[in-house]
Amino acid sequence: MAQELTFDTKKPENAFREQRIDPLRRGERGNRELTVSIASKGIPYDLTGCTVRFVGTTGTGQLVGPTEIEVANATAGMVRHVLPAEMSTDAGLAHWYYEIYKGENYLDTTESCSVKVLQNADIGGQQATLYIPILEQAKADEQARTAAETKRADAETARATAETARVEAEKLRAAAETKRVNAETSRVEAEKSRATAETKRDASFTEMSTKLSAAAAAAKAARDDATESATAAKKSKDAAAASALSAGKASDSAATVIKETADAAADARRAAEEARGSISADKSMYFKRITDKNGDTWPVIVDSTVKGD
């Protein structure tokens, strides 16, 4: 609801001249759009460069504002706004007026206006009941009973459906549990198999390690024996070579000695023969073997009178 009002800064003292707007109900709000013309002794108040503030009190005297409002036409002194909702907070006679400022300077105020705020229904009170004839009440009761029965049947159907769903869910849960148990059993068996395989692997690894160690030891012993044999063979070879060399040297020395001995014996024999000469087989002559300067030898008769027995 829109209303137009005129407020004068002269502020008449006669209370019977106080302006009023149409009454409000307590809690009523947002439905009082006011267009206010501000005058000074009947002449429009020039609001150029000014601000206008709304100041009011509720029916119980509580302050509302100050709140700055819109200046619609400054030279005509016209402002426009909606009555603040706080004005209808309390039942009773609410009042308000306007203040005029230029910057922070307080210039003027207008006369007051009032509005009657009517009491509203007590929402917290006991709810009144409506009188209903017996037949109407019976009909209403039957309708209520039928509706309740329908709701009960629907609820029973819903319960049965929920029970069916619960049973199916229980079956699914049991199947899932069976699968879980089977999976757990398989896992346990797999773990046992793994442990057995791990044990066998450890035993095999230990056995293989033992065999490898034994083979390595045998190979080392064989290698050591071979090394010792090779060393001994080399020593024997070296000794044999030394012995052969010594034997060769000894043989060469013996041959030389034998040859020298034979040569010495021949020379001695020749010398002896040359020294003593020889007697012929019939013992009729004695001769000696003479060697000339060329090394040639021949017998020379020394005596032909030799006679023997």
Strand-pair category, 105-109 with 286-291: unpaired
pLDDT computed for residue 12 by the predictor: 72
Q: What is the three-class DSSP state of 125? A: coil
Q: What is the pLDDT of residue 248?
A: 65
- Three-state secondary structure readout of 25-91: ECCCCCCCEEEEEEEECCEECCCCCCEEEEEEECCCCCEEEEEEEEEEECCCCEEEEECCHHHHCCC
Side chain identity at 4, as an amino acid letter? Answer: E
> Exposed/middle/buried for 180, CB within 10 Å: 0-12, 13-18, 19+?
exposed
pTM score of the predicted model = 0.40
Instruction: Report the share of the chain in percent with pLDDT over 70.
Output: 75
Please, is 58 exposed, middle or buried when counting C-beta atoms within 10 Å of its C-beta (0-12, 13-18, 19+)?
buried
Q: How many CB atoms lie within 10 A of CB 290?
A: 12
**Full DSSP string of 192-229:** HHHHHHHHHHHHHHHHHHHHHHHHHHHHHHHHHHHHHH
Taking 50 as the pLDDT cut, the residues of the chain under it are 15
Q: Which two tokens stand for residue 235?
A: 């020593």
CA pair distance 136, 205, nearest whole angstrom: 99
Whole-angstrom CA distances from 194 to 185, 199, 207, 256 are: 14, 8, 19, 89
Neighbour-count burial of 77, counting CB atoms closer than 10 A to its CB (0-12 exposed, 13-18 middle, 19+ buried): buried
Kind and range of the H or E element at 8?
Answer: strand 2-8
Six-digit token pair at 144? 């209520």
Q: What is the pLDDT of residues 131-164, one digit of tens each?
A: 667 777 778 888 999 999 999 999 999 999 999 9
CA distance 40 to 110: 9
